[in-house]
């Protein structure tokens, strides 16, 4: 097989075989997916909330950390309640088959609205663009599953990562106000983004996932 090129001066220079495109993609790309939370995931989610550091709580605006047992019980219930009665729903985020975080939809009013939350507990995987794709996949799944008229996401205005991620995807910022985004949250300045299904789908299509 020809592995060398002859240059015009008569010297031989080795031809560096190009790396096939599919191989480059395999190295760079991770398999990103979401799936419903199961009882086996509950201890990890509980630990993320209950064992969070004071710095994490401040950044997230968490004020009311529940007791481990109470949170465990409510998450186990969320895993098993029939969908038509669900008031909260959880999707586990996976990178290459490894659970790395979750999205929740809380305050579900059937046929009306709900509020999305997002957390990646594997800190070394943050900031690589995975959250944006996993969030969009979760948003599409929540829209399809609950057929709500509106989903919002309300990160603390002072928390850069979710704000930057939501803007990067293209979700419209519709309001900045002072309030609490969930039963765990402190009253603080919040940015409200409208989580539109078509914006999530367009981002996924553009990212090739
Ligand atoms: C929010 C979170 C789920 C996003 O997932 P992610 O994988 O980090 O998301 P992405 O990498 O797609 O996007 C995050 C963006 O914020 C940026 N970012 C992250 N930390 C930042 C910081 N401290 N200051 C400024 N920008 C920051 C990243 O650079 C990235 O922007 P870019 O793609 O334009 O460079 C994840 O960062 C996380 O779990 N953070 C801690 C928990 C949290 O804050 N949850 C939100 C509760 S509302």
Residues enclosing ligand 1, CB less than 6 A? Answer: 60, 101, 117-120, 126-132, 155, 159-162, 164-165, 168
What atom of ligand 1 comes closest to residue 101's alpha carbon? 39
Residue 81 pLDDT > 90, yes or no?
yes
Contact 155, 134 (CB under 8 A): no
What atom of ligand 1 comes closest to residue 128's alpha carbon? 11
Residue-wise pLDDT for 152-209, tens only, equals 999 999 999 999 999 999 999 999 999 998 888 889 999 999 999 999 999 999 986 5
pLDDT of 150: 97
Tell me the domains of the chain and their CATH numbers. Answer: 29-206 (3.40.630.30)
pTM: 0.88
Give the burial string for 120-150 (b: 16+ CB within 10 Å, else e).
Answer: bbeeebbeeebbbbbbbbbbbbbbeebebee
Residue-wise pLDDT for 35-64, tens only, equals 999 999 999 999 999 999 999 998 888 989
């Amino acid at each position: 097989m020809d592995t060398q090129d002859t240059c015009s001066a008569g010297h031989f220079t080795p031809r560096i075989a190009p790396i096939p495109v599919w191989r480059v993609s395999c190295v760079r790309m991770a398999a990103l997916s979401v799936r419903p939370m199961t009882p086996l995931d509950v201890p990890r989610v509980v630990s993320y909330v209950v064992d969070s550091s004071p710095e994490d709580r401040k950044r997230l605006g968490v004020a009311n950390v529940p007791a481990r047992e109470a949170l465990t019980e409510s998450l186990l219930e969320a895993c098993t309640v029939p969908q038509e009665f669900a008031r909260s729903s959880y999707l586990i985020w996976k990178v290459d088959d490894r659970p790395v975080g979750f999205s929740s939809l809380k305050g579900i009013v059937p046929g009306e609205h709900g509020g999305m939350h997002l957390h990646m507990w594997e800190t070394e995987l943050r900031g690589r663009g995975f959250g944006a794709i996993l969030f969009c996949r979760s948003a599409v799944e929540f829209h399809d599953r609950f057929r709500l008229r509106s989903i919002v996401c309300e990160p603390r205005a002072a928390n850069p990562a979710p704000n930057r991620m939501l803007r990067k995807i293209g979700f419209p910022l519709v309001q900045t106000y002072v309030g609490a985004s969930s039963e765990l949250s402190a009253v603080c300045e919040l940015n409200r983004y409208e989580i539109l299904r078509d914006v999530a789908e367009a981002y996924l299509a553009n990212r090739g996932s």
